[in-house]
Chain A
Amino acid sequence: QKEVEQNSGPLSVPEGAIASLNCTYSDRGSQSFFWYRQYSGKSPELIMSIYSNGDKEDGRFTAQLNKASQYVSLLIRDSQPSDSATYLCAVNEEYGNKLVFGAGTILRVKS
């Protein structure tokens, strides 16, 4: 059973702080890793993808990947109240065209 694990939260951070979201996965053959943001009642929105070990930065977002530890993280710098949402980690299956999603971490940014 391929699994993606996330802490459900809620993770509460003050405005302007760094939010750190973590994810572990079970399928060692996975090659593609994604973070989606989902506001309440809305659909998931792709915000970051990462394929190689190390860091990938895009604006206030940094994704980090460590395949040896089967660990993916998302850092949000200068957190804003508008970042308050559920963040879903998704990992591709080694074969085929499917993603396995974690249940998501609720982030709350307090002003």
Chain B
Amino acid sequence: DAMVIQNPRYQVTQFGKPVTLSCSQTLNHNVMYWYQQKSSQAPKLLFHYYDKDFNNEADTPDNFQSRRPNTSFCFLDIRSPGLGDAAMYLCATSRGGTGGSEQYFGPGTRLTVT
């Protein structure tokens, strides 16, 4: 089955210790997204790639970076995690373009910062 995969599902890191979350997709979608979701809140878009074009949200902290080395993979790097970065991180994909705005989410990575 075509799908969006995220690893790890649970990540514990120490305050200030860099962490990388990964996402892969077998849907061959053009667009990949990273969201942060905290309890009882809507998913908050951090950035997205349309193919290799990177689009950063204006309010995404510099502490968050992303890489998309190929169509299938996308990474979220948190350079110096703070306690406020503890959240669920969601990767999503879409075909993009006209009529291609349906987004499909991976299972998420729950990040704990100690």
Contact = CB atoms under 8 A, between A and B. Distances in A.
The answer on A and B forming one complex is yes
Interface of B: 31, 33, 40-43, 45, 48, 50, 55, 88, 90, 94, 96-97, 99-108, 110
A97 interface: yes
A17 interface: no
Contact of B101 (A92, A101, A102, A103): A92
Contacts, number: 52
Contacts of A34: 102-103
B90 A44 contact: yes
Interface in A68-111: 88, 90, 92, 96-99, 101-104
A97 B107 contact: no
A55 B110 CA distance: 36
A88 B105 contact: no
Contacts of A44: 43, 90, 105
Interface residues of A, number: 22
Which 9 pairs show the lowest CB-CB distances between chains A and B? A101-B42, A43-B105, A92-B101, A43-B108, A32-B101, A103-B42, A97-B96, A97-B31, A44-B105
Contacts of B41: 103
